[in-house]
Structure 1
């Protein structure tokens, strides 16, 4: 059998509720984070997260960290984030027919660059970040 050195952890959740005034939500959130960080009134809340693996290395008393990452890859289901959701996109006849998500929640945006031969009335045409025309289908957050 092989020996492994494994660093495990869990998320111990603390909360600090602060009140701030701001013109926008983004400004309020920036101010709230700064105010909460400067306030000593943090309180532990009841739930601690599940135990997860931070880093692992093979060997007795081996350093599980290498260049600020785990020395060995950690399978997703042992990480803090867990197994990511799977997004399935069904395309038939040149168009998206269905989108489904299993194992979690995901926002699904599909950019279709094959818009030749179609009219603006046929597509919700937009420009991407590089200025290229595409049809955008935003399926929203699915689970």
Structure 2
């Protein structure tokens, strides 16, 4: 397998492109690094551990912060949050919102009281007060 890394070379005041060639033959335990456009530079033979150390050193110099992968733990969906109040009582309390749904002052006041009670009990109201 052969990989190349191209880069801009500003040596000798030229803007010529340059490259580094990395080569590994099958399952050989080394990686050959060469600069093909630099005849006076010898090829380097790096062991796999040395190649990984080189990669780690470049990573540290660049100091690239990768986004961490977060695992999402799915929780079973429940219509109302778990609480010490029974489901039937939670349903009865939330059904009061349907009972007082008109736009009259009495119904708005009743809905406000129901929302306050649900808030005090730590229940999900799931609607709007007005």
When the two structures are superposed, what TM-score results if normalisation uses the length of structure 1?
0.19
| Structure number with higher strand proportion | 1
Q: Which has the larger radius of gyration?
A: 2
When the two structures are superposed, what TM-score results if normalisation uses the length of structure 2?
0.20
Q: Which has the higher contact order (CA 8 A, sep 6+)?
A: 1
